[in-house]
């Protein structure tokens, strides 16, 4: 089930946008809750994980950061940056507010990121999710992603679960105008 409200729109912005702060705070809390014991064993914090990449990594023309706004409030979002080769975008931080899950919102963000990555000339998506995020695994598998790990293995023995998907090639157009226009009308 995908719920779309008349006042929903995508906004391409930066990771430093104040509208994104509640999403990052929620994501940090969720990482802390799901992986607290792991963090105690290996060190580090969820905040450090979220700040591992500089904001520029998710900026056009090589990256993107999108928020899904409802009534001007960010309810979901995600980003991508270049991966190891020029044809591959790496998706990061796809997250939806907990009270709005199971409504197809993350799927819409995922589709939007795929479309934008294709517009920016990427032909493949790579992403990882954590071993304690079965709903993310289900989302990616149901959306045509290929698991790059043994699906029958214990996820805790793998830790980071990688996926890939080939994108439908689209003609590359001027990125900056598309992002501005797209964010304004979507």
Average pLDDT over residues 43-58: 78
pLDDT at position 178 = 43
Looking at per-residue pLDDT, the higher value among 33 and 111 belongs to 111
SS3 state at 169: coil
103: DSSP letter: S
- 174 has a pLDDT exceeding 90: no
Q: Where are the alpha helices (DSSP H) in the chain?
A: 21-42, 46-50, 105-119, 134-142, 155-158, 175-185
Read off the tokens for 54: 């500089």
Which pLDDT score, from 0 to 100, does residue 181 have? 35
Question: Residue written as tokens 């709903």?
Answer: 135
Q: How far apart are CA 72 and CA 83, in angstroms?
A: 31
User: pLDDT by residue (tens digit) across 129-173?
Assistant: 989 999 999 999 999 999 999 999 998 888 789 999 999 865 555
């Amino acid at each position: 089930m995908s719920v779309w409200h008349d006042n929903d729109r995508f906004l391409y912005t930066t990771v430093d946008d104040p509208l994104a702060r509640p999403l990052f705070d929620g994501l940090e809390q969720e990482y802390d809750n799901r992986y607290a014991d792991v963090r105690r064993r290996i060190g580090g914090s969820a905040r450090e994980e979220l700040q591992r990449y500089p904001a520029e990594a998710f900026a056009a023309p090589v990256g993107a950061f999108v928020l899904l706004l409802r009534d001007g409030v960010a309810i979901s979002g995600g980003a991508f940056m270049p991966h190891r080769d020029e044809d591959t975008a790496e998706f990061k931080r796809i997250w939806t507010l907990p009270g709005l899950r199971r409504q197809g919102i993350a799927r819409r963000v995922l589709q939007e990121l795929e479309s934008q990555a294709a517009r920016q000339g990427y032909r493949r998506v790579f992403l990882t999710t954590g071993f304690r995020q079965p709903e993310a695994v289900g989302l990616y598998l149901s959306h045509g992603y290929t698991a790059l790990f043994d699906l029958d293995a214990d996820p805790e023995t793998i830790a980071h679960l990688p996926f890939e998907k080939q994108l439908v090639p689209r003609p590359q157009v001027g990125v900056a105008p598309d992002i501005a226009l797209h964010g304004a009308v979507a």
